[in-house]
Structures are given as C-alpha cells and as structure tokens.
Amino acid sequence: MTRDELADLLADQASYRVTQIWDGLYRHGTAPGDLTVLPLQLRARLAGNGALAPSLQADAQLEADRGATVKWRWALSDGRRIETVLMRMSSERPAAPDRANPRATVCVSSQAGCAMACGFCATGQAGFDRNLTTGEIVEQVVRARTEATRRGWRLTNVVFLGMGEPLANYDRVWPAVRRLHDDVGLSARHLTISTIGIVPGIRRLAHEDLPVSLAVSLHAANDELRSRLVPVNRRYPLAALTEACRVWQIAKGRRLSLEWALIHGVNDRRSDVVELAELARSLAAHVNLIPLNPTPGFATRGTPPEGVRAFRDRLADRGVNVTVRHNRGTDIAAACGQLAAAVAGPEPAAAAEAR
C-alpha cells in the first residue's frame, strides 16, 4: 500500500494517524495491529486489512558463523518459499562493548525462483515461480532490521543478491528501492542491485534519480564461456552488456562491481585472468571473487583457497582492484536458493547437520 492509499483508507481519521502508521511500519517495523499509540478500535480495523498485514511467515530461521549470519526461509501467503540473509560485518571479531554498534547487511530476494537458469545456482536450477511484490521485498528488510536491532547491530546495507533477478522484476524492485530510501531511511549508495546483465534494466537504472550501487554477475569475460554458464548472455552478449554499464557509469558517476564465482577448472584459468583484467580495467570496475558454493545440481566445485589467492594476485598484478569475498553460512545453505530448495527434501536443520 502506498502512503496515498493509506491516507484514503484513513480519510475519516485525523491526518497524523497516517504518519503514525507509516512510521510504525517503516521506521519501527511494527504492524498496525500492534501499534499501541492507536485507539483499540482503529488497531482492530487495520489488523483486519490484508494489504497492511505481514506478508512473510518465518518457517525456518538458522544461524551460522558464530551468530554473525542469520538466514530466514519465509513462506509467502501463497505458500511459496523465499530466503533472506542478514550478515554482521567483520565477522571475525565481535564488536567490543565500547565500540559503535557493528553494521549489518541484508541480502534480499526479488523473485520466488528465477528464470535465468544459471546452471551453478540453486535458484536457477529450481526455475521461476513468480515476481515478489514491492511489499514482500521491503518487508524482508524491515524484518531483518528488527532482528539486527535486537542483536545490537545497525542495518545499513541492502544487497539484491538473494533469489531472483531484480532487473527482471523492475517495476516492483524500483518502488521497493524508493521505499527503502525514502521511508526506511537507508542511503541510496548502500543499496546494491546485483544483476546477471539485463541490458534494458541497466539502461533504465541510468535514468533513475537515486544513485544506487550496481553489481554485475559476470563469471566469464568471453561470450562462448559466458553463454554456457549464464544463458541470458546469448540475448545480451558482453559487448551490449559492457556498453550499458558504461552508459550507467557516465550517468551516475559511480564505480561498478563485477562478481565472479570461481569455478574450478572452468573460469579460474590464466586466460580467464587475462580476459577479466582487460574487461575490468576498461570499465574501471572493482572485482569481487567468490569461491563457488557447491549446489546439488552442478558437479563442478569451487576453486580451492590457494587457487583463489593466485587468481586474485594475478588480477591485482594486472592493475585490477579486487577483493575475495568469504563464503558465509555454508553450513546453513545460505548460497542463493539452497535453503528454499531444501523445502522439498529433509528439514533444514537436518540438512545442515548432514553436510
């Protein structure tokens, strides 16, 4: 529900009630039925309104990395499952009591399932169910923030790195971004859209007023290999993708990130370093390396740690700005789509123990 729709619904009430309810929803994460500042009768009336009711029901909540990573699997109102992951930054050292509250990032889903069919991705293996609504996207952030606050963390960053392809659900994702900025109060540059490379979507982002961050899941820097790993590359090949990235960079003046999941013997060879270095330098992009998380439907494993370090060093030698991202929550199936995939198999707790 938009703020205008809420105001229409409350046309018979004093106008400050709209502000109370809106702030309750987005600043405090409180459902209208639980807002004790409201008269009981109004609370009851709002609690009965489906458009204002919570849309996510937790059916699993798991922790990993000594409490620094929390993952939810939510049941949506139609029974479909999606996932959200909350990560405290700097997992290695717990925040000293005299330091400011540690910051946290939430990784949100934009679709139930995904139609992009990347073979190495658990969500891609499972296929597409439906787009999430703006409310279902925003609520993931609000619910994660409530948990972060409870733990003494500050939720500052949102990454659209969960299930789904955000730019394939643009018309709901962008209003969610607006809501997160305008009403939840997050800074635009701390909102990161990660895309497999939907060229028209990237071009649309270039025209938006909010300077959100952009990450492109590249994984291969030649069309032959990329089309094998990322089928949508056949529709939007590298030349079109890099051109759209350039348009976005010129319009926004922001640095682009490139994601590269290191797959052993597939995209971690010396020739891959050379191709990636050339592409990354031409876009002045930052490269994030992530060792592939194993998934049931993809036989090839991630690059071992020494190979990851060698790949990083070779890129850095070629003048590329590069970071290795650590796998978080591997013991709770926190890689994209793994937990939702487990719904058809054993219970998540059992699945985690079996690993």
CA 252/CA 255 separation, integer angstroms: 9
Q: Does 267 bind ligand SAH (CB under 6 A)?
A: no
Which residues, other chains included, contact 41 with Cβ-Cβ below 8 Å and sequence gap of 6+? none
Give the distance from CA 349 to its chain's centroid: 23
Q: Does 225 bind ligand SAH (CB under 6 A)?
A: no
Instruction: Kindly identify the residues of this chain, within the stretch 73-112, that bind ligand SAH according to CB under 6 A.
Output: none
Query: Residue 303: CA atoms inside 13 Å, Cβ hemisphere, count?
Result: 24
* Contact in structure between 160 and 108 (CB atoms under 8 Å): yes
> Which is closer to ligand SAH, CB of 196 or CB of 285?
196
CB atoms within 10 A of CB 20: 17
In whole angstroms, how close is the CB of 5 to ligand SAH at the nearest point?
29
In whole angstroms, how close is the CB of 181 to ligand SAH at the nearest point?
20
**Which helix (H) or strand (E) covers residue 60, if one does?**
strand 57-64
Q: Does 268 bind ligand SAH (CB under 6 A)?
A: no
In whole angstroms, how close is the CB of 336 to ligand SAH at the nearest point?
4
The catalytic position among 83, 139, 147, 275 is 83
Of 234, 229, 242, 235, give the one whose Cα is nearest residue 272.
229
Q: Identify whether 336 is a catalytic site residue.
A: yes
In whole angstroms, how close is the CB of 259 to ligand SAH at the nearest point?
4
Q: At 99, which amino acid appears?
A: R
Q: Does 161 bind ligand SAH (CB under 6 A)?
A: yes
Q: Identify whether 83 is a catalytic site residue.
A: yes
Phi, psi angle pair for 112, to nearest 5°: -85, 110
Rounded to 10 degrees, the C-alpha dihedral 63/67/124/254 comes to: 150
Q: At 38, which amino acid appears?
A: L
> Which of residues 55, 105, 217, 257 is near ligand SAH by CB under 6 A?
217
- Dihedral (CA of 62, 63, 65, 71) sign: positive
> Which of residues 261, 273, 287, 340 is near ligand SAH by CB under 6 A?
261
CA 165/CA 180 separation, integer angstroms: 18
Q: Does 196 bind ligand SAH (CB under 6 A)?
A: yes
In whole angstroms, how close is the CB of 196 to ligand SAH at the nearest point?
4
**Which helix (H) or strand (E) covers residue 261, if one does?**
strand 257-262
> Which is closer to ligand SAH, CB of 148 or CB of 336?
336
The residue written with tokens 């996510």 in the block is 56
**Binding string to ligand SAH for residues 285 to 314, with x set by CB under 6 A, is what?**
-----x-xx-x-------------------
Contact stretch for ligand SAH (CB under 6 A) within 46-54, 67-75, 188-196, 306-314 = 188-196
Instruction: Kindly identify the residues of this chain, within the stretch 317-346, that bind ligand SAH according to CB under 6 A.
Output: 335-336
- What residues form DSSP beta bridges with 288? 259, 323
In whole angstroms, how close is the CB of 353 to ligand SAH at the nearest point?
20
Instruction: Kindly identify the residues of this chain, within the stretch 105-144, that bind ligand SAH according to CB under 6 A.
Output: 120-121
The catalytic position among 118, 121, 245, 336 is 336
Which spans of this chain sit near ligand SAH (rule: CB under 6 A)? 120-121, 161, 165, 194-196, 217, 259, 261, 290, 292-293, 295, 335-336
| Active site amino acids | 83, 336
